[in-house]
Structure 1
């Protein structure tokens, strides 16, 4: 089943990834801040994010993956990851893959393959993804084994730490500069609503883009933007999200 899904990802990326944006509008920025061994992150990538390539939605989306998440930088400059040393390894490997193959249509299959193994708790076999995808492992491993990988991760650390409002968990999904909080699985709706070009892709007409989502995101941004609310919102956020749904 995993092999079939991987073939599906490859087949759906080919026809759509290079498609130009629909006339009249800039692409919508979709940023995923994540860490490689986070189960919620792998679930998002494996079961949801790949669908962006299934249709013409990718034609209006500028997808960026930032594998750093909740890692911390120690005083000596070394990086400590939330789920341990192996997560730091895979964060750097995936960062090197993005650096080696900058186009999303080129690096996403590899990241999808690795995260599929994470999802099934087989991540120690991540190197098999090179062979499965027919990729040359040399540039990625050269990056990982040199200071290049660390420099890329430090760049991702700076990007993650500069988020406003700051991220409070992962996966942290941002659409055109605005986080969508716990509604991250519905990223398609936010992309369609943010896109200003006409006509919108056909996949957007299939999506229920209700005004309630905008109300939700505006409310959360207002609350998180006020320091006095931060401690309170952490307790009442689940209730607010449930009510708005």
Structure 2
């Protein structure tokens, strides 16, 4: 859309368009959202690098500022995971840490004005780039499906294949209601990752649209700029709460689901 005059509608649509790379001839389901994948991977690497910096010169004495900050964050997540999960798996805390800090970083990209990313990329010929991975339902569904696989892993490890299949077919109404048990359990297991994905996506995508609407308002003369600045500041301050809260909710619900998957019904 280089060189075209953008209306408010096309401006918003432009910033909500993913940079895609179709795999195969048809695209569609097999279309890869390049911006989502690249941004998510880079932020994941940034998270790992930041934690590595804290551990590289870790000391048992008086810690440095960055080490102290990382230790406080990790202790907070570790405490929440242990209070929520009632099993004995040592994987839960690393899973919780990965989920919380990775989603937190991806959500935080929302605080960067869209044009601060789009304009420099346009100079090198990239005209579409949706910067917030969690505002892409494909990313949130991918993370929630990973949680679903972890739920199956924890359930099978706790109950065994026979015990898991037996419970899946007989709970909660007994063996004579096997078809109804099967339908109910399939719905229950699938609803958990879907609700995880939709909650995070809905909050981040909705917030992205509001930010773009405020940005458009800011271009409508002096009073528009004044109103845009005021509303933008208020919405930004509100999102300083929403960004970590959504990461925390996704993490806590994931740990709850892992714990429930090990419980017998």
Greater Rg over alpha carbons, structure: 2
Give the TM-score, by structure 1 length.
0.25
Higher strand proportion (structure 1 or 2) = 1
Give the TM-score, by structure 2 length.
0.24
Higher helix proportion (structure 1 or 2) = 2
